[in-house]
Amino acid sequence: DATEQKTLPKLNLNNICHINVNGISSKTHKLELMCKEMNVEILCITEHKLNTPVIARNMLEDYVCSSIYCRGKKGGGGAAIYVKKGVQYKEFPTEELNIEGNFESAAIKTDKNTVICIYRPPKGDIEVFYSQLTKCLQKVKSNKNIFICGDMNIDILTCDKNKLSIKKEFEYFLTQEGLYTTTDKFTRDMGYCKTAIDHIITNVDNKEIRSECNIEAGISDHYLQYVSFKKNENKKRVEYRYQRVYPQPKVALLLRELQDQQWMEVYEADHINDKFTNFHKTFLAMYEKCFPVKRIKIGQEEHKKWVTKGIEITSRNFRELSQKVKRSKDLNSIEYFKRYRIIYRKVLKTAKVKYIENEIKNAKNVSKTVWTLINKNMGKPEKEHKNIKIKLENNTISTDPQIISEEFNKHYCSQAEKLQENNKNEEGTVSRGKEFSMYLSKVTENDVILAIAKLKNKKCSGYDEICDEIVKACHLPLLKPLKHLLILNETKTNIVQFRTNENAAINNNTTFTELRVKEAKFLGVYIDQFLRWNKHAEHLIPKLNSAIFGIKRIRDITNEKTALLAYHGMFHSIISYGTLIWGNTTMKQDLFKLQKKAIRAVYNAPQTESCKPLFLKGKVMTLPAMYIYDLIKFVKKNENKFKTTAEKHHHNTRQRNQ
């Protein structure tokens, strides 16, 4: 019988769990609750029944899908490994070993352990299974600790004469490889029969680990298995973060020092790179003086999660009821359990939805909270910033970002010397003074002011650690040196030679023939040589499809209001950008269909339902309406640029005054 427990066991650090979930899609909330109660670090799942790895990326909160195998169009089966965020791991490649229906695996490596998750269907070829498992073990034989978890459909407690030979062959195979299984009890209870087909196989001495193979988790008719090391890892060290503080007196001090600065070393330098280097060093020295980096201890904050005491009690009751039903043949009890299971799933989903709604409602920055939620459910991994290494001229290795950036700068400057020598014509690209000209105009101080004004009031910074808020506060003393630094960078310039459908070439007398391209991205809009906008639409379609997937995921765990926020943040912001220019493309119907899919996803509407009331309900403009609205705004704002009928015609016609 399954281990009798009122609560799930709390595991030590460095633990591994396995369970056959028999379909993960509808059981994510129960799995999250189980992982929280048990403090699971590595969770191996078999028979997840997903057909694409994309869906599995961040299906479990606080866990990353580190390795996964999915079947093709047929679906079913599969193996996956989820790792708790913060646990270091590397994916161990087993793709070439996987054979659908016989050997389906996923694998990772941590600092000390190699974990392999395997699923072999009941009708899988046993010889093929042993052959692929042998190849897999040959790849990991040099590793110290090996853990093979999975549902292999080999019953080691069977008394069936027809299956005894398979059982003995399995035991012989493990002995030959120096392995053993921790399974010593039944791992699956279907009511009418019990089997021990789920295993955690290892080469680690059983004195070093604690294991259990039949924990009732209430996930499926399979029990949970786990192993954990008896020795706990060392306590986490105190962590610090480094940041700058920007008090108002220090901002005023920086402003005074900038006003006293003459910037002569910038104006007197001959090369543009020397000018910028001198400017940057001078400004950074004053910046460091006013805002030094300070070390701050990171507090251990307890984040409130959606799992309440009531849910823990409900979960415990569900597991106890699940155990009783497996031993009972009473139809009324089975029917009661089915109803209770439906209610239990709704309770978990509702609790998580309410938790997320409260997080958004109480957030200081709603937009940031929603985007964090979107990125989680879109499966976007958290960005890890790692310093690269570079070998310097004196044969020393450096990881300092400042030194590395200077080395790259030196390299590319030396490569660009020939290009600069060949393009000394500075007047060839400068405006001749006409208002509407194909030539570039010189940068003015007003241009610099407008550019700085568009910066956001944020304290975050790039590699140079200079934040936008301080630049905005001290912009006046910086106008002259910045204006002096802003000149044309030919290496970042493209020239599109516009033409008609005819093949006749048009000579535009530009000197930079090597910079000519057939299409270019300018301010987020793709422009081709024929001034058609199909290329831009083609770039939009994959982005919009990805946004629709994100909206569906958000709607599944939140309400309409949050899903509408996700729509505006992920979909509307993309499709509404630049519609005045490209809105009349021949592919506009394809884009409009995607917009209708997105609005249906917001309101969970069926595919056959009309979208008209949904657009009205959400106060969302359709793509054709956006295009017309942008045209009207443009004409109204630029009335002086359009000629009236009276200005066009010299004769006194009926519509002369229109």
Domain limits, the chain: 15-234, 307-383, 534-641
pLDDT at position 596 is 92
Average pLDDT, the chain: 80
In tens, the pLDDT along 612-647 reads 899 999 899 999 999 999 999 988 888 887 777 666
**Angle, CA of 92, 115 and 174, to the nearest 5°:** 115
In tens, the pLDDT along 581-613 reads 888 888 888 899 999 999 999 998 888 888 889
The two tokens of residue 349 are 């989903």
pLDDT band at 437 (very low <50, low <70, confident <90, very high): low
CA distance linking residue 152 with residue 118, whole number of Å: 7
CA distance linking residue 259 with residue 471, whole number of Å: 13
- The helix (run of H) or strand (run of E) holding residue 278 is helix 272-290
The two tokens of residue 390 are 């570079």
3-state secondary structure (DSSP) of residue 584:
coil
| Range in 30-44, 240-254, 273-287, 362-376 with the lowest mean pLDDT | 362-376
- In single-letter form, the type of residue at position 599 comes to I
CB atoms near residue 448 (< 10 Å): 19
> Does position 233 have pLDDT exceeding 60, yes or no?
no
pLDDT at position 400 is 81
pLDDT band at 512 (very low <50, low <70, confident <90, very high): low
- Phi, psi (rounded to 5 degrees) for 45: -125, 130
> Does position 45 have pLDDT exceeding 80, yes or no?
yes
Query: Shortest CA distance to 149 belongs to which of 37, 40, 36, 1?
Result: 40
> Does position 564 have pLDDT exceeding 80, yes or no?
yes
pLDDT at position 440 is 59
pLDDT band at 514 (very low <50, low <70, confident <90, very high): low
CA dihedral 566→572→575→580, nearest 10 degrees, is -160
State the sign of the Cα–Cα–Cα–Cα dihedral 138, 143, 145, 149.
negative
Q: Give the contacts of 626 (CB within 8 A, at least 6 positions apart).
A: 575, 576, 579, 583
Is residue 56 within 8 A of residue 50, CB to CB? The reply is: yes
Q: Give the contacts of 202 (CB within 8 A, at least 6 positions apart).
A: 145, 146, 147, 148, 179, 180, 182, 209, 227
Most confident region among 2-16, 363-377, 492-506 by mean pLDDT: 363-377
Q: Give the contacts of 317 (CB within 8 A, at least 6 positions apart).
A: none
> Does position 415 have pLDDT exceeding 60, yes or no?
yes
Is residue 564 within 8 A of residue 526, CB to CB? The reply is: no
In tens, the pLDDT along 465-478 reads 788 888 888 888 88
CA distance linking residue 173 with residue 313, whole number of Å: 43
pLDDT at position 302 is 45
3-state secondary structure (DSSP) of residue 464:
coil
pLDDT band at 507 (very low <50, low <70, confident <90, very high): low
- The helix (run of H) or strand (run of E) holding residue 132 is helix 126-140
Is residue 353 within 8 A of residue 554, CB to CB? The reply is: no
> Does position 334 have pLDDT exceeding 50, yes or no?
yes
pLDDT at position 107 is 92
Percent of the chain scoring above 70 in pLDDT = 82
**Sequential DSSP letters for 305-372:** -S--HHHHHHHHHHHHHHHHHHH---HHHHHHHHHHHHHHHHHHHHHHHHHHHHHHHT-SSHHHHHHH
State the sign of the Cα–Cα–Cα–Cα dihedral 320, 322, 327, 331.
positive
3-state secondary structure (DSSP) of residue 106:
strand
In tens, the pLDDT along 273-329 reads 888 888 888 998 898 888 888 877 665 444 446 777 788 788 878 877 887 777 677
pLDDT at position 303 is 47
The two tokens of residue 161 are 């004469």
* For range 239-266, the mean pLDDT: 85
Higher-pLDDT residue of 228, 443: 228
Q: Give the contacts of 650 (CB within 8 A, at least 6 positions apart).
A: none
* For range 392-407, the mean pLDDT: 82
| CA 534 to chain CA mean position, Å | 28
> Does position 436 have pLDDT exceeding 70, yes or no?
no
> Does position 524 have pLDDT exceeding 90, yes or no?
no
- In single-letter form, the type of residue at position 575 comes to I
In tens, the pLDDT along 190-225 reads 777 889 999 999 988 888 888 888 888 888 889 999
pLDDT at position 54 is 62
Top CATH class of 15-234 equals alpha beta
pLDDT at position 487 is 66
- In single-letter form, the type of residue at position 522 comes to F
In tens, the pLDDT along 111-162 reads 888 999 999 999 889 999 999 999 998 888 767 789 999 999 999 888 888 8
Is residue 379 within 8 A of residue 58, CB to CB? The reply is: yes
> Does position 489 have pLDDT exceeding 50, yes or no?
yes
Q: Burial, 378: exposed, middle or buried (Cβ in 10 Å; 0-12, 13-18, 19+)?
A: buried
The two tokens of residue 79 are 């193996």
